[in-house]
């Protein structure tokens, strides 16, 4: 079963500390966003493997946009 990781608010992708195939644990940082002049970590809602990254550094994203998919 896949789990989508979505943007909690509009912002810009500052960094992506994981890559496709990375194993992540629940609450690991998957994406770092710049929003409201702060760095906002977006964490994995559960443990899994990063199957897909749907954004790249510098992308602007909207609230609710899918950033990554865990499997």
Residues 46 and 62: their CA atoms lie apart, in Å, by 22
What's the fold here for domain 9-55?
OB fold (Dihydrolipoamide Acetyltransferase, E2P) (2.40.50)
Residue (of 42, 47, 54) closest to 71 by Cα position: 47
Residues 58 and 66: their CA atoms lie apart, in Å, by 15
What's the mean pLDDT when you consider all of the chain? 97
- On the question of pLDDT at 32 being above 90, the answer is yes
What counts of helices (H) and strands (E) characterise the chain?
Answer: 0, 8
Output the pTM of the full model.
0.94
Question: Which band of pLDDT confidence, cut at 50, 70 and 90, is reported for residue 35?
Answer: very high
Residues 2 and 62: their CA atoms lie apart, in Å, by 21
């Amino acid at each position: 079963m896949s789990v989508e990781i979505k943007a909690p608010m509009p912002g810009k992708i500052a960094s992506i500390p994981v890559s496709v195939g990375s194993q992540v644990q629940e609450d690991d940082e998957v994406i770092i966003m710049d929003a409201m002049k702060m760095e906002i970590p977006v964490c994995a809602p559960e443990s899994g493997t990063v199957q897909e990254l749907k954004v790249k550094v510098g992308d602007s994203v909207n609230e609710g946009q899918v950033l990554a998919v865990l499997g």
